[in-house]
Structure 1
């Protein structure tokens, strides 16, 4: 039988499939080339054409290997001498080297994304204020959610909605109602230290690592003031979050690879289990509180969770259950870590500079009489009059800024400081470097001089005629919502400690600040405490 001249569709199917496969592979290859090579080269040329210099682009990895090597070198160096506050090379080795070699406005690479350091205080403030909406806070995808997600990570309308719900919980009248919880937690710490001092003998000093002590204190405050629970109930969350941060640091230089965090590696699987357990604990706490509120049981309480849920109800549910869990994760993470770091470095600094310790103690005893035997908890009016203590805290925040750098991404092309940045460039605001800049703060920028804040923050960097250069709490509309909470907590803790104990630096202390990712004492913060008569 003669065969038809019409080709069978079954014979064409393999050709069609092959053509589709070739098209898909070509499309993927083009996208990969654009992501890994063409776009980075295009952005890099646009920046270098305007005179910016920096590190050379290495496909896909960027400066990850260099950053890891410099961080390892920084950690392997001998500790800084006690009293030396030149911590920037140790805490920000990659950015410090780039600024030293290529200028304060220099290029580095996070994978295929160019980063430009912006170290001029006026430009830093302009970026943070974001008046024209040119900048957005870059996210870290799934890794960010595994760590914490809340108002500090949201953008646009969602950020505005969450901020409006959370802000009332930090109003002054609400913070005043939290002071008894602050005082109770600080009283527990003081009582524990008095037991240690008594065991050492009258007039004798006892060594204490104040870093874990301050973590326990601020964890207790967050648990009681934020959730109406206790440190013991919140301990599991703190343990899990500490492990989560350590795991996140292991993968931080790989997250620019699309989908990396989704790979079933041992670290990624463990991080997901940790996040699920934390969210399960918090979800149970929230559901229990919401049930009590719906049943009309008592008041919502004076803690942040109750106030946040109350505000959310008043705004007809502006946040979902998942949103509330995210904000709680943020409170636990940020609220505990940043204030514990502030208190730890403040006590280390006061141990290094006993003359300022004496001045701060004299002020505390003057405002809250009764000496070491005083049992009345400091009140808000008294805490607000502690000018020297406030100066000391600000100087500690300047020298040991908890978050050494913040990042913003150009959402659309923008001109800044005479440079036109294309969309998709990350701007690195090296706050720690700005706070140590001798061109900004004077030749004594790396010295502990709290008196520079005697007239407040605005004129601290060289006088009122110069732009403010203090960014410990960020700036602009995204200024830290918990700023007043943290400062009140720190003042309460410092006041109650100073009126009962004398602090001196232990011979075993090693001065080794290092960001993981916040600026922590890598080898502890050993201080000798002595009970005052």
Structure 2
């Protein structure tokens, strides 16, 4: 009898389990899959097509398959005259672009995306000032250890308030005042490279430039914005770099980022805590200094104290996060992207010594007395400006402009449903032959001789610093630092690519030289 009762109970439990599983499946189908399908239908009704998604996983399996095929393809890294790396770093986007055009839709899991590389729609995004277009929360959530809830990943009124505090510190009048700091920060690099020539025989020296350039950028951002030297902040930069490379580092990194990162989570959490502690120590030291000179850190401190609304009535925990998160954002954005852009600059100049000569000639004309650089004369450096603009066209450190429709939003003639993420692949836009001409993949700085507006058919398609209200706040500092540092290096040295250089752009939150930039230098 007891055995029969137990069998009945087990049958009931099994039936309930089956009902539960079926119920869960029905719930997922109705509330998730059908919801995603309704979004896709809205896009299809507007003529927007894309690859067919699978249930639950969307197009992720196809993205992985395309990525694996690209990784197995013959390696042509030495043949980089055309400088087009998108088909190897982002092969799924390139394959779908060729199949569906400059605007298409795809899915990752149950999340729907809209790929936009049409110049007119990019222009509309640029002009869109609504707070209803923000940073994709599902991506920035995974970058929280790196960026916290600072200006790079926040949305809505929180972002608007942070921008109000940070933006004025990067206006051009303040950036001009930082030129002396940039020069002072770059001089140790020049001395180090001269010593390398002496120790390697006195004629030439082989240099891997990347870490040295990171050191310069780190010193600039530390001293200009935080009032401390690189020697004081080097632990922060070192740990930020370790944290950055803890994120997926192969060509499949975007897919890995979408799927989530389970490896190295303990290391990431530890680094996050260590970085926050170091930044907070620097903040407390800065408070004790009570310097009369107001810098960026002072502005962030005042913003944390004064803005009661956004900081929950000045709750000390919220204030601390506000300060630390924005410091992390500025540390990362202020040195990593600029240093990477400088590395790409030296790589391309090493390939084109004629442009090194042109920069040297211009410097001699603009600064005949050798007093370089005068902040007010930077606008006369036309040649180095053209070179920098062309480098940022071919190798923009930021690979994407990404947005999420926090509410249903209209971009041009496209109605973007709530929850859809928009992606613009910057290097693809920068290589569009319809915009830039048949030589779009060639290094031709002269295309910018009369400025960006005359360099292509659609100036809004040139977006190395992003676009719209969320345009990179550090654009002015980055451009001035690039021009000054490149000019100083070219004035002292002539250089060519080393045979040890391997061309392999890699996506590690930004697009950087996968194996670094190796050059052979000699005194010019």
What is residue 270 of structure 1 aligned with on the other side? 267
Greater alpha carbon shift after TM alignment, 411-420 vs 214-223: 411-420
Matched, 1:458 2:453: yes
Is the CA contact (8 Å cut-off) linking 2:131 and 2:155 kept in structure 1?
no
C-alpha distance in 1, partners of 2:70/2:207?
26
What is residue 4 of structure 1 aligned with on the other side? none
Deviations 1:379-399 (A, max 9, x none): 211222211111110100001
Deviations 1:181-211 (A, max 9, x none): 2111100110101111222344x22111122
What is residue 128 of structure 1 aligned with on the other side? 126
What residue ranges of structure 2 are gaps of 5+ in the alignment? 1-12, 312-318
Matched, 1:431 2:431: no
Greater alpha carbon shift after TM alignment, 154-163 vs 63-72: 63-72
C-alpha distance in 2, partners of 1:45/1:117?
16
What is residue 508 of structure 1 aligned with on the other side? 500
What is residue 491 of structure 2 aligned with on the other side? 499
C-alpha distance in 1, partners of 2:515/2:66?
19
C-alpha distance in 2, partners of 1:518/1:35?
35
Deviation at 1:417, TM superposition (A): 4.7
**Among 60, 63, 68, the residue aligned to 1:64:** 60
**Among 463, 483, 486, the residue aligned to 2:478:** 486
Task: Quickly say closer, same or farther: Cα 1:159–1:440, change in 2 above 3 A.
Answer: same
Deviation at 1:25, TM superposition (A): 7.6
C-alpha distance in 1, partners of 2:46/2:105?
12
What is residue 6 of structure 2 aligned with on the other side? none
What is residue 5 of structure 2 aligned with on the other side? none
SS at match of 1:395: helix
What is residue 136 of structure 2 aligned with on the other side? 138
Deviation at 1:133, TM superposition (A): 4.5
C-alpha distance in 2, partners of 1:390/1:98?
35
C-alpha distance in 1, partners of 2:236/2:65?
32
SS at match of 1:448: coil
Deviation at 1:505, TM superposition (A): 1.4
Task: Quickly say closer, same or farther: Cα 1:45–1:317, change in 2 above 3 A.
Answer: closer
Deviations 1:44-78 (A, max 9, x none): 23323433222221233333344344445545633
C-alpha distance in 1, partners of 2:188/2:386?
26
**Among 292, 301, 310, the residue aligned to 1:299:** 292
**Among 102, 106, 109, the residue aligned to 2:107:** 109
Deviation at 1:168, TM superposition (A): 2.1
SS at match of 2:423: strand
Deviation at 1:27, TM superposition (A): 7.5
Is the CA contact (8 Å cut-off) linking 2:105 and 2:113 kept in structure 1?
yes
Task: Quickly say closer, same or farther: Cα 1:305–1:114, change in 2 above 3 A.
Answer: same
Deviation at 1:105, TM superposition (A): 1.0
SS at match of 1:436: coil
C-alpha distance in 2, partners of 1:254/1:206?
39
Is the CA contact (8 Å cut-off) linking 1:82 and 1:352 kept in structure 2?
no
| Map 1:201-240 → 2, pairs under 5 A | 201-202=201-202, 204-240=203-239
What is residue 470 of structure 1 aligned with on the other side? 462
C-alpha distance in 2, partners of 1:441/1:51?
27
Matched, 1:39 2:35: yes
Deviation at 1:39, TM superposition (A): 2.1
Task: Quickly say closer, same or farther: Cα 1:256–1:520, change in 2 above 3 A.
Answer: closer
Greater alpha carbon shift after TM alignment, 308-317 vs 424-433: 308-317
- TM-score, reference length from structure 2: 0.87
**Number of aligned pairs?**
498
Deviation at 1:489, TM superposition (A): 1.0
Task: Quickly say closer, same or farther: Cα 1:35–1:207, change in 2 above 3 A.
Answer: farther
Is the CA contact (8 Å cut-off) linking 2:140 and 2:153 kept in structure 1?
no
SS at match of 1:53: coil
What is residue 345 of structure 2 aligned with on the other side? 346
| Map 1:218-367 → 2, pairs under 5 A | 218-249=217-248, 253=255, 267-293=264-290, 298-300=291-293, 303-309=295-301, 320-367=319-366
Deviation at 1:43, TM superposition (A): 2.0
Task: Quickly say closer, same or farther: Cα 1:391–1:290, change in 2 above 3 A.
Answer: same
C-alpha distance in 2, partners of 1:254/1:449?
35
SS at match of 1:499: helix
- TM-score, reference length from structure 1: 0.85
C-alpha distance in 2, partners of 1:266/1:86?
31
Superposition RMSD on alpha carbons, in Å?
2.8
What is residue 5 of structure 1 aligned with on the other side? none
C-alpha distance in 2, partners of 1:314/1:112?
41
Is the CA contact (8 Å cut-off) linking 2:78 and 2:502 kept in structure 1?
yes
Greater alpha carbon shift after TM alignment, 351-360 vs 187-196: 351-360
Is the CA contact (8 Å cut-off) linking 1:117 and 1:428 kept in structure 2?
yes
SS at match of 1:459: helix
**Among 390, 396, 412, the residue aligned to 2:385:** 390
Task: Quickly say closer, same or farther: Cα 1:426–1:94, change in 2 above 3 A.
Answer: same
Is the CA contact (8 Å cut-off) linking 1:506 and 1:526 kept in structure 2?
yes
SS at match of 2:143: helix
C-alpha distance in 2, partners of 1:483/1:50?
36
Deviations 1:401-458 (A, max 9, x none): 1111121122333444544332221111111111000011111111111111112122
Deviation at 1:369, TM superposition (A): 3.1
C-alpha distance in 1, partners of 2:459/2:255?
34
SS at match of 2:442: coil
